[in-house]
């Protein structure tokens, strides 16, 4: 038995290519060159430590709605763990589910089974994407913020009166400039860069994103030759932004998103940095490695139509091993 006739192959390629672009157009908006364009977050209210503010920080009033597989949501879990806010800000879990076209809630919340329904219930006029993370106000029944960069700053500074690790400042004044500089580089070329590789809809767009991604990883590898973290020996929000992408890299992005020039494991300094961060109190518990693989490989149908989840790599023993 050989391949089907040529005309059948060409017809199949044409049909699949058309369907693929249609599906990708909904999953990943693109520009004229086929480069992924991430939509901007639309809920940007700020929780304030001042008890007299419009939206004051209070224990038990706010919650995070997150998906374990999402790196943007993961960074909020990381800061929540580092600051010791586990009992102050509860979590509601969402699961990537292609059958509902997005995030399904693990248990019903506010009478809703999906995250999209929560957005619609809180803001009936909202026509944007139902994304995680979401910072939700249980008292006012409204979405406070769905921009992860804002949420991690809020968690770092506005709940210190209730945090068990209130003395930890992940965005100290003396390191803000350096932290912001790293954030700008890392966001475009690494955090969003892996998605620009995976969601690229042209060879040009893919190669541009991939080259920029590994140029930055090389830059970070060199920086970490004489530095424990990105801004020296102190953890900052820049590290909280980078870690969720790195922990997913060898698991998912290397194969599924075609970021296959090198693994993080192939970078000695980056790999040691990843293990050091993973070893911080509470961080390993935020990392559902099997869940990450399962969500990506089973929910991103255009990238993996068969939905087959690879057995490896097994990072658990590698991350836990002490040098």
Q: Which of 307, 258, 310 is nearest to 96 (CA)?
A: 307
Rounded (5°) CA angle 111-155-280: 110
CB atoms under 10 Å from CB of 6, counted, come to 8
> Pick the catalytic residue: 62, 70, 179, 206?
70
Q: Which of 183, 174, 115 is nearest to 149 (CA)?
A: 183
Q: Is 195 a catalytic residue?
A: yes
Q: Is 112 a catalytic residue?
A: no
> Pick the catalytic residue: 112, 126, 187, 195?
195
Cβ–Cβ under 8 Å, residues 229 and 236: yes
Q: Which of 146, 95, 101 is nearest to 123 (CA)?
A: 146
Q: Which residues of 237-276 are buried (b: 16+ CB within 10 A; e: fewer)?
A: bbbbbbbbbbbbbbbbbbbbbbbeebbbeebeebbebbbb
Structure tokens at 12: 């199949």
Run of H or E including 107: strand 102-109
Q: Which of 178, 47, 207, 75 is nearest to 132 (CA)?
A: 75
**Residues with catalytic roles:** 70, 195
């Amino acid at each position: 038995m050989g391949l089907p006739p040529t005309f059948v192959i060409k017809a199949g390629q044409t049909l699949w290519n058309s369907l693929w672009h249609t599906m990708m157009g909904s999953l990943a908006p693109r520009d004229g060159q086929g480069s992924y364009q991430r939509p901007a977050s639309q809920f940007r209210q700020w929780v304030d430590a001042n008890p007299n503010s419009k939206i004051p920080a209070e224990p038990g009033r706010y919650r995070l709605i997150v998906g374990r597989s999402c790196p943007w949501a993961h960074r909020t879990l990381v800061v929540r763990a580092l600051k010791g806010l586990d009992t102050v800000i509860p979590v509601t879990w969402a699961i990537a589910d292609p059958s509902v076209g997005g995030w399904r809630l693990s248990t019903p919340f506010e009478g809703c089974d999906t995250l999209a329904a929560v957005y619609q219930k809180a803001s009936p006029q909202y026509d944007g994407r139902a994304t995680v993370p979401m910072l939700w106000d249980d008292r006012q029944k409204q979405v406070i913020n769905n921009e992860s960069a804002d949420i991690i700053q809020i968690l770092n500074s506005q709940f210190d009166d209730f945090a068990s690790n209130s003395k930890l400042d992940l965005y100290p004044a003396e390191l803000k400039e350096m932290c912001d500089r790293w954030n700008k580089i890392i966001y475009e070329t690494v955090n969003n860069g892996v998605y620009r590789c995976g969601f690229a809809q042209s060879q040009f767009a893919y190669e541009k994103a991939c080259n920029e991604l590994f140029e930055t990883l090389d830059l970070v590898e060199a920086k970490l030759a004489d530095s424990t973290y990105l801004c020296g020996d102190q953890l900052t929000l820049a590290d909280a932004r980078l870690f969720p992408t790195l922990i997913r890299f060898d698991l998912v992005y290397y194969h599924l998103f075609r970021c296959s020039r090198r693994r993080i494991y192939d970078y000695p300094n980056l790999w040691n940095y990843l293990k050091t961060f993973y070893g911080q109190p509470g961080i390993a518990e935020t990392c559902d490695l099997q869940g990450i693989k399962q969500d990506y490989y089973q929910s991103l149908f255009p990238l993996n139509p068969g939905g087959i989840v690879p057995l490896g790599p097994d990072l658990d023993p590698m991350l836990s091993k002490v040098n």
